Structure 1
């Protein structure tokens, strides 16, 4: 008989493996249903969702076994949380559906980062040590995957806590990645309590009590901040325009004059309700409106702004031309015109007083949908993949821009920033705008690609974390919803329904104080990453010494 031939599994071994798979799947289910839009009580499952998974990986000895277990849990978690990414609407672009399906398989693989580091630590130190530093590895994974070109950090555990308002108040100190850290430690302490229930009552009560104590401390802080935080008396009335234009037809057959009339009608309604600044959604017009060729529409917009003495912050495709002697490295060359140009998914601030624009080009582009990852380094990739709705191949914005609405005095002036779509899920990125002086955060987005699936509702709820982290109001102008105003405590004050033509008007408080998180957004992710790199370095060094008998 060959030495490599495996003995057949006994019925007991098969039963054990099936039991483990069920535990892994159960973990993925609990994590998935703890995320929005599933209502609040289910959020509490986040505190125990990892327990079945931890029970399985604690018994595994090889990296392959640990990563297999991790992938299954992560896949189920992904399937429930981001199933909507492919859109699955009848008009959906084929490429969008394919990339959405691929994401469900690729995204879980990123969770092999913390499980691999856990295995390394388990080999270097005791099993208990590996377990207690596992949360640091998880936060490292969440942070690192926010900073690659294939980033889609939609499943950070801190984001999943968005509906637990009193719990997320701590984000003004530790941010959403800090919340992730706490959530994973709670899972570990509850897990330790669970496995010691029949073995050691003392250890059971110690771990259980410690878990409850952490929750009580975080919630107590939440009640304290909610009651003690004084909202600024300085306010501005904002009008959010939700035109509910079909996102698929807009790029193919859209009539610009029809769109313009719709925007101006809804804007007129908002002005009558007292709006002092208007916000239109992402790519409000499906053309490079200000690049020439559409001056009659531009004149109509400026005429409206001057008539009502009102500013307009709008999402808009933006095209910038460069001459051959002075152009950025990522500019595209036009052979027909013999010039260079760059295109941006942008936010523009239009003033009633001047036609001098303030502009911001989206920095965090959606992988594959808006930019093929690493296409600047491997150029042929960019020509292989193009989304059929006119929004692929954008250039990357250059800076975090804070828009200035100048008043008669500095005190009367207003400073805001504009984020485009999924940029609002990046905690430290948003903090950069506030640190530069933004008094409230505006998000322009188009979430109606995904119908009434979970995505648009998750995106809206995640914005509450940005509000709390920075103690700034967040306003969202979404093409098909959800448009809303969220106050600095993370509470939604007014919101629209999905797929209605409407304007949402409300008062937005203007804050100036910066939170600890705003000033120091990277403390927890940097320390976690540094520790992870240290562990990785020790493991590699040990392997080298063993191999070469050093």
Structure 2
């Protein structure tokens, strides 16, 4: 196809190409390079058709294909939730492009494209931090398949990946436009710049790739994968059977050097008050096991409640028929013999499933009918680190969905965490790309924080990930067993841990300035038209 034939491609074709490029490039495929050109067809469509063309409908189609093609597996958990996630996320993703369409009325193509980039980065930042957060498709997540070449995430986080993808797309777009205009020198400049940037970042990654340190100070960690079907959790196994399976798998895989065992999200499922866990009859085998191994620390997912008396101590507190307020938690607990349980309550909750923002509370009965939560879970105010002074193993208890929030995870590290423990239950989605994507994102947290990641997934994939973002051990999907690894701890703080999502924050300021200038130009234009 010659360059000029781009003019004759139907808008629908270009829209579909973008959607398919974004979908096929997403983890866990080997086509990640497609992200570097995925936006080019839409940029060409905007360039060819001009300002009056109804661009947004084709943008919406591209984004709908992308969202559907990469997160369709949500249907296995909740059909209503899957449709809502795809439709809402597609709509929200259109907002930066809508801003681009508006900017083109008063700014040059170059300036409008710069506005598009900062609008998109601002959208990603907001989507990481507001009450209906769903950042699964943050562009920077898409590069997780090639962790060896994105070691610079230690300095930028995923925002740097999103920015890179946009820069390369724009350079490739201008290269194509320059070729179309037979300006080969300019095309060479743009194409060469794209090649140089990618090559330079790969070179930097290989240069800063941490060396595998050989140290005498390591801690043996065991992660358990019980492989309990979440849809048949209490039909196929009793609560006692589930606890016994976890204890037996642990006992079979530990030795005298084991310092820490990690069980998956909600592994301890006999929901009880937090101050009654040690007396719960179902958990007695756990405490007996720990008593037999006094040097062992257990970190596990757990379902719990907490009473507040007759006062609603939190916004999420529920009220019993007797007038007692309480919270329900999807939590993590640290257990060790002769020590009181330490809890962390999941703080990044799944919208519609675990929490509802206040402006959607009127839809609570609908969400409850389709498997969601009406009252919502309670949360911890801050990230809690489980500390074992004997081993100096300070663990960040990260529960499921929380592992896709880079800046949030840095709060654990700044509070002293020397390793990351991810407890998750991806069995709700079945054997689909969902659990593979979730595992791939965990590699980014290892790079950003330069910490080992120990990942315990109920049905898989459990894994150990080193600070380079490399999976060094894994236990596959739908398997029962455990992994054991001697890991070193790290107390240093990376640039990203110290400064977080600074790229997003800078982009948000620039985006705000663009909006101010846009309205100034718009008002000036309106005044000018009145006077003429």
The question of a shared fold, defined as TM-score above 0.5 by the shorter chain, is answered with yes
What does residue 353 of structure 1 align with?
Answer: 338
| 2:74 equivalent to 1:75 | no
Q: Deviations over 1:370-423 (max 9, x none)?
A: 12232xx56443344216769764324132333343335xxx422111111111
Contact kept, 8 Å, 1:402 with 1:438, in 2: the verdict is no
| 2:501 equivalent to 1:522 | yes
| Aligned partner of residue 343 in structure 2, secondary structure | strand
What is the RMSD of the two structures over their aligned residues, measured on CA atoms? 2.4
Q: 1:113 to 1:388 in 2, by over 3 A?
A: closer
Contact kept, 8 Å, 2:318 with 2:375, in 1: the verdict is no
Q: 1:52 to 1:378 in 2, by over 3 A?
A: closer
| 2:51 equivalent to 1:37 | no
Picking from 10, 23, 27, the partner of 2:18 is 27
Contact kept, 8 Å, 1:386 with 1:393, in 2: the verdict is no
| 2:183 equivalent to 1:188 | no
CA distance in 1, matches of 2:439, 2:333: 22
CA distance in 2, matches of 1:54, 1:300: 61
CA distance in 2, matches of 1:506, 1:378: 44
| 2:462 equivalent to 1:483 | yes
What does residue 312 of structure 1 align with?
Answer: 298
Q: 1:231 to 1:26 in 2, by over 3 A?
A: farther
CA distance in 1, matches of 2:525, 2:338: 72
Q: 1:64 to 1:381 in 2, by over 3 A?
A: farther
| 2:184 equivalent to 1:201 | yes
Contact kept, 8 Å, 1:166 with 1:223, in 2: the verdict is yes
| Aligned partner of residue 57 in structure 1, secondary structure | helix
Contact kept, 8 Å, 1:369 with 1:387, in 2: the verdict is no
Q: 1:131 to 1:273 in 2, by over 3 A?
A: farther
Q: CA deviation at 1:231?
A: 6.9
What does residue 322 of structure 1 align with?
Answer: 308
Q: CA deviation at 1:366?
A: 0.7
What does residue 126 of structure 1 align with?
Answer: 108
What does residue 137 of structure 2 align with?
Answer: 155
Contact kept, 8 Å, 1:24 with 1:72, in 2: the verdict is yes
Q: Deviations over 1:172-221 (max 9, x none)?
A: 00111111101110111011112212420111110011101111111011
Question: Where in structure 1 are there 5+ consecutive unaligned residues?
Answer: 1-14
| 2:428 equivalent to 1:428 | no
Q: 1:64 to 1:433 in 2, by over 3 A?
A: farther
What does residue 265 of structure 2 align with?
Answer: 282
What TM-score comes out, normalization by structure 1 length?
A: 0.89
What does residue 6 of structure 1 align with?
Answer: none
Q: CA deviation at 1:544?
A: 4.7
CA distance in 2, matches of 1:140, 1:159: 16
Contact kept, 8 Å, 1:402 with 1:437, in 2: the verdict is no
| Aligned partner of residue 107 in structure 1, secondary structure | helix
Q: CA deviation at 1:101?
A: 2.3
| Aligned partner of residue 196 in structure 1, secondary structure | helix
Q: CA deviation at 1:62?
A: 4.9
Contact kept, 8 Å, 2:217 with 2:488, in 1: the verdict is yes
Q: CA deviation at 1:232?
A: 6.1
Matched length = 520
Picking from 128, 141, 146, the partner of 1:164 is 146
| 2:358 equivalent to 1:368 | no
Contact kept, 8 Å, 2:353 with 2:372, in 1: the verdict is no
Contact kept, 8 Å, 1:186 with 1:211, in 2: the verdict is yes
CA distance in 2, matches of 1:362, 1:421: 9
| Aligned partner of residue 422 in structure 2, secondary structure | strand
| 2:193 equivalent to 1:210 | yes
CA distance in 1, matches of 2:520, 2:236: 61
| Aligned partner of residue 385 in structure 2, secondary structure | strand
CA distance in 2, matches of 1:222, 1:456: 27
What does residue 102 of structure 1 align with?
Answer: 84
